[in-house]
Structure 1
Amino acid sequence: MGLYKKRKDGSEQPYILGPLKLRLPFIHYKMEYPDWLQGAILCVVPMSITAVMMDTLGIPFELAIAFVIINNFLYLLHTHFGDPSIAGWITAGIPLYVGFLAGFPEGEARILALIALQLTVAVIFLCMGIFKGADLLVKRVPTSLKAGILLGAGFAALYGEFADGGRVWTMPITILLGAALGFFMMFSKTAAPLRERYPFFRYVAQFGIAIPFALAYLFGIIIGEVGMPQISWSIVALPIGEIVSTYSIFGVGFPPLGYFLQALPLAIAAYIIAFGDVLVASSLLKNADEVRKDEKVIFSPARNSIIVSIRNFISGVFMPFLPLSGPQWTGGQALVLNRYMNNSRKQVDSYWGGATGIYWGMSIALLLGPLVTLFQPGINIGMALTMLIQGYLCGYLAMEILKEKGTLEKGIAIIIGAVLATQGAAWGLGVGIVLWLILEKQWVNKKSIPQTEDESKSV
């Protein structure tokens, strides 16, 4: 076992540096190679954002994939410094970020606008983490506004894929087949009993959209909708110098104040969307704690927010990353927890081995030229599947939030969602606040309204 430090049953996994809770591989946790393998298979998911970055920012594929690889390694800050979250993007807002950036001229102006947005998001997360101010922007935000933002993000995600020039129409049969398979495996009422009855189906289903992507990609090549990949046997280059000189604040300069003011409403909307992931992560990890009594896994929203802020600051300064840095990748979190909860300590010693391993596997896979070039012709498929599923989930969560609410809140949420999806976050938030003030906010207490003489006699 060498240097490996064992924990006492029912306690936290060992760590160093006190409150920082630094855990090192082979010393504070074992390598969980099944999670490495899962991460390697799922490398197609982060690759899909390269298509959006190329279209929106004009970044060549070779640099876009370098952005993705560096961002993937930044995810490891969470699991190495005591945050058990399997981190990810603020995915639901991607159509909103694209719409925001489209309002700026192509080229350097869009890079500056993205830097301003990412740094603003970083500041919000830092404040929420240090001052534990989640109540300010989430718990006290009206339900109609939260649901409306989710609806708007869902509408924008689906509209962007099906609109004229959307990704669906670039390879319709391939993408719609992949979407049908993905939706069936993840959401179908038929899939649930199949997972329980057949171990093979359960094994395949745990890989999320990776298997539907692979099948659709292969079919697309067969029918000619997808081009044949040109395999490169080299290691993927990371041109750090070119990235810093061309896309960082040291190359393009610091954004003007006006860019930050324009980005602020969208940054607030992105935070509200992202905080939903914090709540989901807390719930999932609490369930794992109840199942695996041998290990205490502690999730701190404040710690998570601070590390998310650090990732956004690093990206904002050196390489603005279009999907932004978020608190959790729900699909990856579910994969790691599923294996951890369904095995004993003898089989999976600690949560941290799998939580760290999934991103070690994915990040290393992205450095391998053969894998990257194999999947490169299918990046539009991966992004389309991601956005279609994200649209479904946003709509579903919005409906869940509104389930116990009245018709007034539901109506306001629909208006906010429509305005936000078509006119952007600033208009959506502005319309939402005005509607809340004039419709939901009760300015006059009913008991304080003076009664007329006739009304007092009738009483």
Structure 2
Amino acid sequence: MSERKELPGWRWGPFTFRLPFYHTKLCWSEFLQGLMVSAATGLALVPIMTAFFGFSFEEAIALSMIHAFLIASAVIVFGEPYAGGWITPALPLILAFVIGGYEDPSSRFQAMTALTLVFASLVFILGITGLGRKMVIWLPDTLKAGIILGASIAALKRVFIDDADKFLLEQPIATTMAVAVCLIFTFSIPMQKLKERNRFFLMLGALGLLPGFLVAAMIGPLVGEVNFDIEWGFMVPPLAEAFAKASPLVNGWPTIEMLAQSIPLALIAYIILFGDIVTGNEVLRDGMAVRKDEHIDINLNRTHYSLAIRNAAMAIVAPFFPTQGAVWTGVHVIVVQRWKQGPKAMGSLHSGLASYYLMGLPFIYFLLPLMTGLKPLLGIALSLTLVLTGFACAYIAMSIPKSNASRGTVVLIGAALAFFEPWIGLLIGVVATLTMVGWDRNADPIPHD
């Protein structure tokens, strides 16, 4: 049997830079999926930026482009073997904290800066000391499940209550149809069985959020909820204007109080992040059992360092937490599945990942027809992201507790985190776990790490 070989690249410290088109080759299937899915999903925050952070549509596009650059750098610059993405379950909790706790766009961006800097510092410390794994093992299952359910409740609350008038109620039919299609293709048990029998449905399901977008794009105009005003030509995203509104170098640095208030949320985000990394590693190990020809370097310390650097850079240039996570699980699974098909399907996993992130070239943000075409669908994109996050977090959270007392406590913790300030919710969670269940930690929550 031939020895496993790692794809070459230029080493710098613990990282490996792989130059697109030189070290990594273009994989057209992943490139085209990235062109469609990454563009639509990556712009889901644009409605939030325009509604609550004082950005124009063009400025929000510019900020999203910076986030896309940083996410692509995880694969290309740092050599990470994961499809990078947001820490999505933390998003609704963070929006509730920032939008609910601060009135003007300037202070909201300062709060985002505080969150991102605290998180970057936390990840670096937990990575360099090795305490991250120990902390996640030490946490009780009931508290972890409560945190995940809190993200679920906060996500659904934002869509159906807090911001319903801005997003859901403006496009009710198109949004409902898009959400229904995505829920069915992603989570439905009958649909999973149909995918096993029918290749067409299998391929359609592999496109992630795209089928939901296509349904919204077709039904929306018919019911008068979507009006396309597509402009032709090229757009130059106003990076300087976005930087001036968002960056703490211009906008001002967060206060000590903001930094202190960010600590509970940073801890919650880290717990969710670590779960994503464990999931990503298990997917890679499953792939390596089939692909004996390529060595994939899984390095937890390197992942922590790259996360710390990316989040610190984002905090200074374009603060919007939590867009710099480790693993976009859905995309990660899709790319690894094709990698498992052998060298003819995908020469290297790193080539497939780099292709999905468009080889780090953000040309889609300069295509005016694409940006203006997506504009009326972005509220739907945000609703889709939050509802799917809420559904996934709910079933993950409810699968963890093993007793009725634990299940009831999980719901209590979830509600506390969704409706109160993060530190109050976390305090209620700790007290409720201790008094109702005890410190029910799993001695081996990461069985293969």
**What TM-score do you get using the length of structure 1 for normalisation?**
0.90
Which of residues 6, 15, 28 is equivalent to 2:9? Answer: 15
Contact 2:276-2:329 at 8 Å conserved across structures: yes
Distance 2:169 2:421 in 1: 24
Partner of 1:421: 418
Contact 2:83-2:353 at 8 Å conserved across structures: yes
Q: Per-residue deviation at 1:109? A: 1.2
Q: Per-residue deviation at 1:155? A: 0.7
Contact 2:67-2:323 at 8 Å conserved across structures: no
Q: Which amino acid aligns with 1:152?
A: G
Change (3 A) 1:431 1:21: same
Partner of 2:119: 121
- Paired residues, number: 431
Contact 2:338-2:345 at 8 Å conserved across structures: no
Contact 1:182-1:208 at 8 Å conserved across structures: yes
Partner of 2:343: 345
Contact 1:41-1:210 at 8 Å conserved across structures: yes
- In structure 2, list runs of 5 or more residues that go unmatched: 440-449
Q: Per-residue deviation at 1:355? A: 0.5
3-state SS of 1:335 partner: helix
3-state SS of 2:10 partner: coil
Which of residues 137, 149, 174 is equivalent to 2:147? Answer: 149
Partner of 1:277: 276
Partner of 1:25: 20
Partner of 2:87: 90
Cα deviation per residue 1:310-360 (whole Å; 9 max; x = unaligned)?
Answer: 11111111111143311111121122112212x221231111111011111
Contact 1:32-1:354 at 8 Å conserved across structures: yes
Cα deviation per residue 1:213-248 (whole Å; 9 max; x = unaligned)?
Answer: 11122211111011x222222333232322332221
Contact 1:128-1:302 at 8 Å conserved across structures: no
Partner of 1:176: 176
Distance 1:336 1:245 in 2: 37
Q: Per-residue deviation at 1:441? A: 4.2
Residue 58, structure 1, aligned to residue 58, structure 2: no
3-state SS of 1:291 partner: coil
Partner of 2:374: 375
Partner of 1:230: 229
Contact 1:118-1:324 at 8 Å conserved across structures: no
Change (3 A) 1:332 1:366: farther
Q: Per-residue deviation at 1:439? A: 3.9
Contact 1:96-1:424 at 8 Å conserved across structures: no
Q: Which amino acid aligns with 1:83?
A: E
Partner of 2:259: 260
Residue 103, structure 1, aligned to residue 101, structure 2: yes
3-state SS of 1:170 partner: coil
Cα deviation per residue 1:137-179 (whole Å; 9 max; x = unaligned)?
Answer: 3111111111101001001111211116413222111111111
Q: Which amino acid aligns with 1:78?
A: A
Q: Which amino acid aligns with 2:404?
A: T
Structure number with greater Rg is 1
Distance 1:157 1:26 in 2: 39
Contact 1:44-1:375 at 8 Å conserved across structures: yes
In the TM superposition, 1:305-324 aligns within 5 A as 305-324=304-323
Distance 2:210 2:118 in 1: 33
Distance 1:174 1:164 in 2: 19
Partner of 2:75: 79
Distance 1:370 1:135 in 2: 46
In the TM superposition, 1:345-364 aligns within 5 A as 345-360=343-358, 363-364=362-363
Cα deviation per residue 1:437-459 (whole Å; 9 max; x = unaligned)?
Answer: 444448xxxxxxxxxxxxxxxxx
Q: Which amino acid aligns with 1:14?
A: P
Contact 1:217-1:381 at 8 Å conserved across structures: no
Partner of 2:31: 36
Which of residues 115, 135, 138 is equivalent to 1:137? Answer: 135
In the TM superposition, 1:185-196 aligns within 5 A as 185-196=185-196
Residue 294, structure 1, aligned to residue 290, structure 2: no
Partner of 1:207: 207
Q: Per-residue deviation at 1:71? A: 0.8
Partner of 2:446: none
3-state SS of 1:190 partner: helix
3-state SS of 2:382 partner: helix
Contact 2:174-2:215 at 8 Å conserved across structures: no
Residue 407, structure 1, aligned to residue 401, structure 2: no
Q: Per-residue deviation at 1:9? A: 5.1
Residue 247, structure 1, aligned to residue 243, structure 2: no
Q: Per-residue deviation at 1:54? A: 1.9
Contact 2:17-2:79 at 8 Å conserved across structures: yes
Distance 1:84 1:325 in 2: 15
- In structure 1, list runs of 5 or more residues that go unmatched: 1-7, 443-459
Distance 1:351 1:139 in 2: 30
Contact 1:150-1:394 at 8 Å conserved across structures: yes
Change (3 A) 1:164 1:433: closer
Contact 2:206-2:334 at 8 Å conserved across structures: yes
Distance 1:186 1:324 in 2: 22
Contact 1:53-1:322 at 8 Å conserved across structures: no
Distance 1:377 1:334 in 2: 29
Q: Per-residue deviation at 1:117? A: 0.8
**What TM-score do you get using the length of structure 2 for normalisation?**
0.92
Q: Which amino acid aligns with 1:230?
A: D
3-state SS of 1:17 partner: strand
Contact 2:60-2:242 at 8 Å conserved across structures: no
3-state SS of 2:20 partner: coil
Partner of 2:41: 45
Residue 218, structure 1, aligned to residue 215, structure 2: no
Distance 1:248 1:120 in 2: 16
Q: Which amino acid aligns with 1:380?
A: G
Q: Per-residue deviation at 1:424? A: 3.0
Q: Per-residue deviation at 1:301? A: 2.2
Distance 2:104 2:17 in 1: 42
Contact 1:243-1:318 at 8 Å conserved across structures: no
Q: Which amino acid aligns with 1:122?
A: A
